[in-house]
Amino acid sequence: MEKQELKQLLKSIQESEYKVPEGVDPYELSLKMMDNIGDIDSELRDDLILSNLFTWIYENQLSEKQVNELLWIALDENHILKGLGNIDDSVFCRTFSSEIVAACIYKHRMDKFLSKSDIEKAFDTLLKFYNEDKDVRGYIEVKGWAHGAAHGADALDEFARCEEIGYERLKNILDAFYKKININYYGYIHFEDERIITAVKSILEREIIS
């Protein structure tokens, strides 16, 4: 499916309140969306792919098994780890994949379909991305939102709310935020602080760290 064809299909789905069209396999289309989640076209990446995937994950258009598979795709070397350490367009793939991780972990918190070891493994990969990613740009002219620090914070917030995540990993989140806040090569001007504070509040509400 060509990019323009994908855009038109996703627009029509959005206009019909995200109902799956007749003859369309929602999981197969989700895989196609994951293939394009790092596209520099902000309309495709942000307005269409992210919103469609969020809605289908939250509203049970995808099975638990399929959400689980999307989680591991989002965490693989072609998504959240793609170009890790570089400051270039690969940031879009990493940061938007982290939002899919956040959605999948939210779904797990509602329905409990992942094992403790899976949650910990997913967390460790997400944390690696957040600690090692140097591209923290917020908005990029023409190409739209990258939100390197904010999107990762959204995912860490979901993990912080998971009962499977204990003291050490909660502390790791705080350490990661400390390092991210104290960089000396970028000034945060796109509400990154609010997203980070949300995750910190979630940690404190667990009453494990005081």
Mean pLDDT of the chain: 98
- Is the model's pLDDT at 1 over the cut of 90? no
Render pLDDT for 82-120 as a digit per residue (tens, 0 to 9). 999 999 999 999 999 999 999 999 999 999 999 999 999
Q: Which two tokens stand for residue 210?
A: 């005081």
Rounded average pLDDT over 56-72: 98
Q: CB of 82 within 8 A of CB of 93?
A: yes
Q: How confident is the model at residue 210 (pLDDT cuts 50, 70, 90)?
A: confident
Q: Is residue 93 part of a domain?
A: yes
- pLDDT of 23 reads 95
| CA–CA gap between residue 120 and residue 76 (Å, rounded) | 15
- pLDDT of 31 reads 99
Query: Amino acid letter at 11?
Result: K
Rounded average pLDDT over 73-86: 99
Give the rounded percent of residues in the chain with a pLDDT score beyond 90.
99
| CA–CA gap between residue 178 and residue 183 (Å, rounded) | 9
Render pLDDT for 16-52 as a digit per residue (tens, 0 to 9). 999 999 999 999 999 999 999 999 999 999 999 999 9
- Is the model's pLDDT at 201 over the cut of 90? yes
Q: Is residue 29 part of a domain?
A: yes
| CA–CA gap between residue 74 and residue 35 (Å, rounded) | 10
Structural domain total, the chain: 1
- pLDDT of 205 reads 98
pTM: 0.97
Q: Is residue 210 part of a domain?
A: no
Q: Is residue 87 part of a domain?
A: yes
Q: How confident is the model at residue 157 (pLDDT cuts 50, 70, 90)?
A: very high
Range of the domain at 20: 3-205
Rounded average pLDDT over 7-16: 98
Rounded average pLDDT over 128-149: 97
| CA–CA gap between residue 149 and residue 192 (Å, rounded) | 6
- pLDDT of 102 reads 99
Residue whose pair of structure tokens reads 């289309």 in the numeric block: 29
